[in-house]
Amino acid sequence: MGTVELPVVVGVDGSHAASDALDWAAELAGRRGLPLRVVHASLWERYEGYVAGTAADRPAERLHSEAVLATAAERAGRRVPALKVMTDLAADDAVTALLRAGQSAEALVVGSRGRGEFASLLLGSVGLGIAARAQCPVVVVRGRPENMHGGMNRVVVGIAERERPGEREPAPPSAAVAFALREARLRGGELEAVHAWRCAGPEDHRARENHGAHDDHRARENHGGHEGRGASREDHARRAAELLDETLGGATAAGLPPVPVAHRPVEGSARKALLDASAHADLLVVGARRRQGHFGMQLGLVNHAVLHHAKCPVAVVPVS
């Protein structure tokens, strides 16, 4: 028996942001040789049900939903002519429908804002809810046109301190690193691995006292950096450089085809390092630790920042 091909899933609602997400998802599916599943959620369907018959017999909301899906499928087919496209009209709210679709998906792709979102929101509630809970990689398509359309030839991945391999042999790449490596390879571009570090100063110690070490840890745990007491700036820089070498070395040892890699240890906050890197990237990849039995928003402060402010699409890859 052959392996089952999981589709790339994209949510559409007729908005401009959803059209950007659809184009991005179609190209992702095309690069990976996978089908594309286009999902439109309509709570109206739950309460009214399917009405068979001619167009004249079907309510306006049903006709609108069908038109959204048909237009999206046609657009995706024009974007990637050989692409297999499936459509799904889900009788649920958008977050629930897409999370369910994501249970059997290679990746979920959503726009930065939906049709009904307030213009003042930096990231829509649908994108945020999915990025915080999905068990598959989620790509939020946002940023400047030149970054969304692949003009930078670079994928950026944030490297966390906890990803450091053991001393004896290279560890397999983390899910985020593996996702980033594959995207860089399929795009024929460069991978830039970013790890932020800083020496703990008086401001950091005061922040811990005021806000608690737990919040500070969560801000750095997925791809932030590290701080330490008693170590010099040179010690921190060397440790960051070693971490990048070892992490990407482990990825190479895992048998992935070689990809040009730029190692970038950065002194400063993870938030600023990743946002700066997003300005010259086609995609920024970050990890999100999923805790078993915890059903709240599982993103962390750094992920919130890049989802709201990155200059390019952001992939949030769950880590169990």
> What's domain 148-319's superfamily in CATH?
HUPs (3.40.50.620)
For the stretch 263-299, pLDDT in tens is: 888 889 999 999 999 999 999 999 987 665 544 456 7
Sheet order of strands, 138-141 included: 85-90, 36-41, 8-11, 107-111, 138-141, 314-319, 283-289, 154-158, 190-197, 261-267
> How do beta strands 314-319 and 138-141 pair?
antiparallel
Please give the Cα distance from 263 to 191 (Å, whole number). 9
Token pair of 189 as six digits:
């571009």
Mean pLDDT of 145-154: 94
Looking at residue 146, what is its pLDDT?
Answer: 95
Q: Give the Cβ contact number of residue 284 at 10 Å.
A: 32
Q: How confident is the model at residue 11 (pLDDT cuts 50, 70, 90)?
A: very high
C-alpha span between 239 and 173 (Å, rounded): 18
pLDDT in tens, 68-124: 999 999 999 999 999 999 999 998 889 999 999 999 999 999 998 755 544 434 456
CA distances from residue 313 to 72, 154, 216 in whole angstroms, order as listed: 20, 12, 25
Contact 7, 106 (CB under 8 A): yes
pLDDT in tens, 201-219: 545 444 444 444 334 444 4
Q: What percentage of the chain reaches a pLDDT higher than 90?
A: 48
Question: CA–CA separation, 263 vs 266, rounded Å?
Answer: 10
Q: Contact, 10 vs 21, CB < 8 A?
A: yes
Confidence band, pLDDT 50/70/90 cuts, at residue 237: confident
Confidence at residue 47, expressed as pLDDT on a 0 to 100 scale: 46
How far apart CA 87 and CA 70 sit, in angstroms, is 8
CB 236 within 8 A of CB 197: yes
Fold match between domain 8-142 and domain 148-319 = yes
- Indicate the CATH number for domain 8-142: 3.40.50.620
CA torsion sign, 186 to 191 to 195 to 196? negative
53-64 residue pLDDT tens = 445 555 688 888
Contact 291, 304 (CB under 8 A): no
Are the C-beta atoms of residues 316 and 138 closer than 8 Å to each other?
yes
- Check whether 179 has a pLDDT greater than 70: yes
Q: pLDDT-derived band of residue 192, with 50, 70 and 90 as boundaries? A: very high
Q: Where are the domains of the chain?
A: 8-142, 148-319
End-to-end CA distance of the chain: 28
Q: What letter would DSSP give residue 13?
A: -
**Interacting residues of 48 by C-beta distance below 8 A, sequence separation 6+:** 59, 61, 62
Of residues 263 and 173, the one with the higher pLDDT is 263
